[in-house]
């Protein structure tokens, strides 16, 4: 993990997927395992967009993109990337991020499309989809 201080500017973050302010003050810190993300899908502009659904990789505790067909822990939705995060040029470098775990989500505004029924069931009682 790169902990050196740096300044990097990228496009405006679109958090229109948030259904309300509820839960935005109670995000959890997490580490993104960048090797599990696909550049063209998850960070084509050089940054991870907020609203990407995330699952926890069992072996490492790091987060990767939610995938109901995965077998490494990412098949269970944990929450959503709360704010945009710059993607490193080297996908072996992990990055810190904030995880949105409680509140309302506008499915139609998620950057990768709506979450499937299995993912919605994983977070039922914590996240409400509208």
pLDDT per residue of the chain (130 residues) written in tens, 0 to 9: 566 776 655 557 899 999 999 999 999 999 999 999 999 999 999 999 999 999 999 999 999 999 999 999 999 999 999 999 999 989 999 999 999 999 999 999 999 999 999 999 999 999 999 9
- How far, in Å, CA of 76 to CA of 122, rounded? 6
Virtual torsion, Cα 22, 26, 28, 32, nearest 10 deg: 40
Q: What is the DSSP secondary structure assignment for residue 76, as one 8-state letter? A: S
- How far, in Å, CA of 127 to CA of 26, rounded? 13
- Does the global pTM surpass 0.85? yes
């Amino acid at each position: 993990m790169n902990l050196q201080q740096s300044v990097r500017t990228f496009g405006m973050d679109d958090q229109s997927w948030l259904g309300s302010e509820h839960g935005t003050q109670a995000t959890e810190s997490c580490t993104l395992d960048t090797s599990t993300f696909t550049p063209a899908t998850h960070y084509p502009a050089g940054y991870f967009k907020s609203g990407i659904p995330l699952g926890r990789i069992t072996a490492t505790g790091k987060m990767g993109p939610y995938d109901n067909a995965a077998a490494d822990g990412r098949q269970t939705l944990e929450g959503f990337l709360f704010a945009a995060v710059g993607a490193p040029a080297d996908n072996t470098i992990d990055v810190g991020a904030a995880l949105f775990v409680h509140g309302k989500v506008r499915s139609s505004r998620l950057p990768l499309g709506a979450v499937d029924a299995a993912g919605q069931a994983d977070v039922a009682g914590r996240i409400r989809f509208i």
